[in-house]
A = this chain, B = another copy of it.
Amino acid sequence: MDRRITKKDDDASDKGRPTLKTLAFMTGLGVTTVSRALKDAPEIGAETRRRVQLVAKQIGYRPNRAGVRLRTGKTNVISLVLNTEHELMSFVSDIIYGVTEVIADTPYHLIVTPYSRSQDPLDPVRYLVETGSADGVIISRTQPNDPRARYMLERGIPFATHGRTDMGLVHPYHDFDNYAFAGEAVRALAGKGRTRLALVTPPVGLTYYRHTVNGFADALSEVGASEVPFNTVSIDQSIEQIRMRTAQLMRRKDRPDGFVSSAAAATLAVVAGIEDAGLQLGRDVDVVSKQSSKLLHLFRRELLVVNENFRLAGSELARAVLGWIGGADPGTLQSLSTPSEVLPYRG
């Protein structure tokens, strides 16, 4: 009953932002009550609850992240782990935008955790887990047997992968159906009478490399076309490398008359290489390419494109991680995006 006004209590007029103590002072309640009232705890009277929430809204109370984090361990952070040393990763911004779109009306912040080519990809993940810097993690460049996924599964930290794994372990992911993409691409080329096809593969070692290669191979035998090996090239090589190797290939007598390319930037290089060899797109050879922006048709209208939506990927990944953090079953947080049909240039 002796609620004396001490030095500690009169901070309502302090310069800082309002805290639970401020709210407690204003409402005449204890901090505990205020805390519980704000999160709709059942043991707080309905009227008190409304009153506290009203005052909180009025003065613009925002929980102090450090306080919450220190007490509960909850960071309200999700981390996007990125390899920062690959030539052309324009889609990265799309993924980021997709993620922020989803977390916009949650208390979550997005931190970007980079790692360089020289580092073990496990390093940044280990750092995040060891320092408890995030409640959830999103990784890309996923491998069939991915040590990062295994590690996080062991440590029990929620995560989602961009691309699937193949370890018999279940976890959230979002993936583009690259098997279907490669298949559609081959069929489209076959439809144009192309019979000798080359594949510009994803980086060897990543899961979607296998998916793409398999989709390509299966469709080849389905349509009765043959493969022209082009193993010296993959999309994370430099533009110059791809261009040069393509030109070499196209100068050979047994050159392909069709390409399937797994990335837009690589496609630019491939086309340049084709033209370096004195050949013409649409006449001597056709190219089907994935793209994330809508720009390839401006580049050469003869290109055939399939769109991959990375913004959607970002959103799905964010949704998946948040879902897992929220206690959902990881097995239900997996999604696969079906490629659009193969699109020719139109007007």
Which residue numbers of A lie inside 8 Å of B, CB to CB? 17, 60, 62, 64-67, 69-70, 75, 77, 82, 84, 88-90, 92-93, 96-97, 100-101, 104, 109-114, 130-133, 239, 243, 265, 268-269, 271-272, 293-295, 298-299
B residues less than 8 Å from A271 (CB atoms): 298
**5 nearest interchain CB pairs?**
A90-B90, A92-B93, A66-B69, A66-B70, A100-B114
Q: How far is the CA of A67 from the CA of B65 in the complex (A)?
A: 11
Would you call B111 and A84 a contact (CB within 8 A)? no
* A259 CB, min distance to chain B CBs, angstroms: 15
Closest B residue to A239 by beta carbon equals: B294
B residues less than 8 Å from A60 (CB atoms): 130
* A323 CB, min distance to chain B CBs, angstroms: 21
- Among B70, B89, B294, contact of A70 (Cβ-Cβ < 8 Å): B70
B residues less than 8 Å from A110 (CB atoms): 111-112
B residues less than 8 Å from A65 (CB atoms): 69, 131, 133
Provide 5 A-B residue pairs closer than 8 Å at the C-beta atoms, listed in order of the A residue.
Answer: A17-B132, A65-B133, A77-B111, A101-B114, A104-B114
Would you call A84 and B112 a contact (CB within 8 A)? no
Would you call A293 and B88 a contact (CB within 8 A)? yes
Would you call A17 and B130 a contact (CB within 8 A)? yes
B residues less than 8 Å from A239 (CB atoms): 294-295, 298
Would you call B66 and A84 a contact (CB within 8 A)? no
Closest B residue to A276 by beta carbon equals: B347
Q: How far is the CA of A130 from the CA of B16 in the complex (A)?
A: 10
* A269 CB, min distance to chain B CBs, angstroms: 7
Q: How far is the CA of A93 from the CA of B65 in the complex (A)?
A: 27
B residues less than 8 Å from A82 (CB atoms): 96
Q: How far is the CA of A89 from the CA of B111 in the complex (A)?
A: 19
B residues less than 8 Å from A272 (CB atoms): 298
Would you call B100 and A268 a contact (CB within 8 A)? no
Q: How far is the CA of A88 from the CA of B77 in the complex (A)?
A: 27
Q: How far is the CA of A75 from the CA of B271 in the complex (A)?
A: 48
Q: How far is the CA of A298 from the CA of B100 in the complex (A)?
A: 33
Q: A65-B133, A239-B294, A271-B298 are in contact. List 8 more A-B contacts (CB 8 A).
A: A17-B131, A84-B97, A93-B93, A96-B96, A112-B112, A265-B295, A268-B295, A298-B299
Would you call B88 and A112 a contact (CB within 8 A)? no
B residues less than 8 Å from A298 (CB atoms): 239, 243, 268-269, 271-272, 299
Q: How far is the CA of A100 from the CA of B89 in the complex (A)?
A: 15
* A346 CB, min distance to chain B CBs, angstroms: 12
B residues less than 8 Å from A268 (CB atoms): 295, 298-299
Q: How far is the CA of A104 from the CA of B82 in the complex (A)?
A: 13
Q: How far is the CA of A75 from the CA of B113 in the complex (A)?
A: 16
* A162 CB, min distance to chain B CBs, angstroms: 15
Would you call A62 and B131 a contact (CB within 8 A)? yes
B residues less than 8 Å from A62 (CB atoms): 130-131
Closest B residue to A92 by beta carbon equals: B93
B residues less than 8 Å from A295 (CB atoms): 88, 239, 265, 268
